[in-house]
Amino acid sequence: MLAVIRLFLLGLFVVLVGVLGCLFCLLRPFHRDNTHIFANLFGHMHKVIGVEMDIRVPDTVRDKGPFVYVANHQNSWDMFTMSGALPAGTVSVGKKSLKWIPFFGQLYWLAGNILIDRNNRSKAHGTIGRTIEAITKNKLSIWLFPEGTRSYGRGLLKFKTGAFHSAVGAGVPLVPVCMSTTHGQIKLNRWNNGKVIIEMLEPIETTGMNKEDIRALMATTHEAMSATIERLDKDVEENWEAKK
């Protein structure tokens, strides 16, 4: 019964925010802070799915930028957890197909996020140019999921190069964003689903880097994120045990 109530509330929320959000965005389409406003609204729904959020942002990142944020992408619950960490002046890069999801997709597009056609390699490469322009011309930060898909409990997957080309091309720091593992943690019929921790790491400078440095940058970032996620999972487990 609890699961049914939660699903109803989440569905109602998506429809209402989708409709009202689109009307709001029509008054200021593609504004630099639209995505932040609505991502944080979605992030507040973590209470409905029964999780406690702990978002950790270092002083070197808070209210600064522009940056290229790279975050691990786990499952559909990310839209109610990870979204709460998206800063002002930031837009995300997502699949073009998101645009056609009723209510949510239209809001995602009007909010100013960048849509990519992953089935078209030439257009995908063009997206890197668009992200670099958004950073350098509009002073926007960009939020990407370098795994390119949800991990569904398989750990941190291999990274794609787009986010790293964008950071190096724009000459801005890269900020890894790590979220503790939520696969199997969120059960809608359970009232308390524990804690989820999101931690932004110290910015990684890309000034002076070029295309030849991309692979090493990816490897360093992947290693740092894997180690951090492992540490966050231990923190969550200890918190869970302490509350038993």
Phi, psi angle pair for 123, to nearest 5°: -70, -35
3-state secondary structure of 225: helix
Per-residue pLDDT of the chain (244 residues; tens, 9 = 90+): 899 999 999 999 999 999 999 999 999 999 999 999 999 999 999 999 999 999 999 999 999 999 999 999 999 999 999 999 999 999 999 888 888 899 999 999 999 999 987 666 666 667 788 899 999 999 999 999 999 888 888 889 999 999 999 999 999 999 999 999 999 899 999 999 999 999 999 999 999 999 999 999 999 999 999 999 999 999 998 877 776 6
Whichever domain contains 88, its CATH number is 3.40.1130
Buried b / exposed e along 177-187 (16+ C-beta atoms within 10 A) = bbbbbbeebbe
Task: List the alpha helices (DSSP H) in 58-196.
Answer: 104-110, 121-136, 162-170
Q: Is 61 exposed, middle or buried (0-12, 13-18, 19+ CB in 10 A)?
A: buried
Domain containing 188 equals 2-243
- How many CB atoms sit inside 10 A of residue 228's CB? 21
Cα–Cα distance between 215 and 213 in angstroms, integer?
6
Contact of 5 with 87, CB cutoff 8 Å: no
Token pair, residue 124, equals 């995908």
Is beta strand 90-95 parallel, antiparallel or unpaired with respect to 114-116? Answer: parallel
The number of domains in the chain is 1
Distance of CA 56 to the CA centre of its chain: 14
Q: Is the peptide bond before 173 cis (omega within 30 degrees of 0)?
A: no
